[in-house]
Amino acid sequence: EAGVAQSPRYKIIEKRQSVAFWCNPISGHATLYWYQQILGQGPKLLIQFQNNGVVDDSQLPKDRFSAERLKGVDSTLKIQPAKLEDSAVYLCASSLLGLPPYEQYFGPGTRLTVT
Amino acid sequence: AQTVTQSQPEMSVQEAETVTLSCTYDTSESDYYLFWYKQPPSRQMILVIRQEAYKQQNATENRFSVNFQKAAKSFSLKISDSQLGDAAMYFCAYRTTFLGGGADGLTFGKGTHLIIQP
């Protein structure tokens, strides 16, 4: 079975520019997560979708970050405008809805560098 | 809110030896899941092992086993017969338990960098 796909793998932008990341979850996975992983730290949840609805976005900096999941499949995460502190790896993960063992499957990530 | 603490930024072990990575967590919940994830330099996060809090028996997966001490809120990972391919960042993670839909994002520790000496 195909894994979680993310693109691009790398992105370099200047501060105040905008950027978007794309994620395609494993087929049939209703739940999708975006995590931010700053260098030297563990991933931090930004937003969780269940189908195309938001379940948890309590840690999403809503003044500059936005995310959507159209038709309950692919998702995009956008940053506008970017700040230096947004430099991180953005990980997308997916899981089956409400079924043990609740494993989350991660994509390869997008490494963002803001200069 | 739950917190996960990994107090060992880096660990080193000789190939074929055994190493234990530490993890402690803080929660007021009685039922939850704990995970160890491995992140090789390629960055793809891979699940190593999981533990349900209501199960007293420690989980094992081949060379990987955990020591789950619920009262102490401790969840350590033991890797036996360490191999060069085990070199990676290891993250301890916590997941709440819910019935039906709900927020269940993982809370991660800062990770432990495991070095395997040949």
Q: CB distance from B110 to chain A under 8 Å?
A: yes
How confident is residue A100, by pLDDT bands cut at 50, 70 and 90? low
CB contact under 8 A, B106 and A109: no
Mean pLDDT by 10 residues, chain B (118 residues): 94 97 94 94 88 90 96 97 97 80 86 97
What residues 11-50 of chain A have any CB closer than 8 A to a CB of chain B? Answer: 31, 33, 35, 40-45, 48, 50
Q: Quick check: B91 and A42 in contact, CB under 8 A?
A: yes
Q: B31, exposed or middle or buried, with CB in 10 Å at 0-12, 13-18, 19+?
A: exposed
User: How close are the terminal C-alpha atoms of chain B, in Å?
Assistant: 41
The predicted pLDDT at position B1 comes to 77
Q: Which amino acid appears at position B59 of this protein? A: A
Write out the two tokens for A99: 């079924």
State CA A79 to chain mean position distance: 11
Q: CB distance from A107 to chain B under 8 Å?
A: yes
Min Cα separation A34/chain B (Å): 9
What is the extent of the structural domain holding B34? 3-117
Q: Quick check: A11 and A19 in contact, CB under 8 A?
A: yes
Q: Domains of chain A (ranges plus CATH)?
A: 5-98 (2.60.40.10)
CA distance B34 to B101: 19
Mutate to test the interface with B, among A10, A29, A37, A58 (most CBs of B within 10 A): A37
CA distance A32 to A94: 4
Q: How many domains does chain B have?
A: 1
The predicted pLDDT at position B99 comes to 53
Q: Quick check: A75 and A69 in contact, CB under 8 A?
A: yes
Neighbours of B3 (CB within 10 A): 12
- CATH number, domain containing residue B92: 2.60.40.10
CB contact under 8 A, B44 and A89: no
Q: Which of A47, A57, A59 minimizes the C-alpha distance to A23?
A: A47
